[in-house]
Homo-oligomer: A and B are copies of this chain.
Amino acid sequence: MNITHPYVAWESREVPTLKQQLPNDFENVLKKMYEIRFFEDEVQDLYSAGLVRGSTHLYQGQEAVSVGAISALRAEDTMTCTYRSHGATIAKGAQIDACFAELLGRAGGLCNGKGGSMHFTDASIGALGSNAIVGGHLPIANGAALAAKFLGTGKVSVCFFGDGATNIGAFHESLNLASLWKLPVIFVVENNQYGEYSPVKSTTSGEKIVDRALGYAMYGVQVDGNDVVSMSAIVADAADRARRGDGPTLIEAVTYRHSGHSRADLAAYRPEGELDEWMKRDPILLLENAIKEFNPDGAAIIERIKENARTEVNEAKNRAVSWPEPDLSELYTDVMD
């Protein structure tokens, strides 16, 4: 069924794709995507080796969403995200060794080891926080946008969350308020097809997630989340609108997570062959194909960037592993004055 939805740009606007152009700064974009990919690969190993505790939620396959989005934003813009946030936090510019250290529970971690995998936060780069409560950060993203508007800083607040989060109350309250107050916020649903072990259709009514924008008279766009150029273009539009005072946008980025939901989840619930299909649309692969297509030296450039990223991530991990545990006094600090 085709819904005529005046707020959905998807049907009415040409969205640029990797088939047509490379990202402006494609080398950096690829590098970030590789950093995230390798970071997450290492995390899986560290987890298996028993060095990462609790839960981890990996981001392989979704790199184009946050890397694309953040490439369209300014350094001072703020970001909130979920427990599946290693990717976005690195994309925003966090030091990779500090990310590893956080996962390892070490001093020098983003949060001195007090937050862990689900709470990556880096105030220095506007990474306001990762949230382990599904939907818990959407209201907070509004708050950051409210401050930007009030103080006239021109900052935009970007908020990443999953398809599953669109069914929780906080989602609804946040979208309504953002629309009503025309807050400079960009809601990016990373529709990776599953919330935990449940396919999105089994938990989420409506034809498309982005249709929910209509109820709030909010701009809504569905976009190929594996295409970093599309992601970037759509977010650039949304950021312009936000900075102009025209309010929020709901972006449904259609993507896929390569691994299971968390930790040891082998994702047995996925239909046979589904992963294979999506691997053909791996965001890194798509970007590399485009680079090779548009650039005669593509293959060599890719190789160099990839190796650089691999080395950097590896060195960052080695540094972090050598750092000490937080001092026991850290247990008691940062509660209240």
Contact = CB atoms under 8 A, between A and B. Distances in A.
8 contacts: A167-B176, A179-B205, A205-B216, A211-B214, A211-B215, A212-B215, A213-B215, A214-B215
Nearest to A248: B205
Interface stretch (A1-9, A31-39, A80-88, A263-271): A1-9
A205 B213 CA distance: 10
Contact of A169 (B4, B172, B203): B172
Residue of A173, A175, A176, A211 contacting most chain B CB atoms (<10 Å): A176
A182 to B, nearest CB: 10
Interface string A165-179: 001111111011001
Contacts of A3: 6, 214
A206 interface: yes
A169 B212 CA distance: 14
Given A169-B172, A213-B215, 5 more contacts: A167-B172, A168-B169, A172-B172, A180-B203, A205-B217
Interface string A1-25: 1011010000000000000000000
A61 to B, nearest CB: 26
A153 B127 CA distance: 52
Question: How many copies of the shown chain assemble into the complex?
Answer: 2
A204 interface: yes
A246 to B, nearest CB: 14
A213 B205 CA distance: 10
Residue of A1, A169, A173, A212 contacting most chain B CB atoms (<10 Å): A169
Contact of A206 (B171, B204, B206, B214): B214
Interface in A176-235: 176, 179-180, 202-207, 211-218
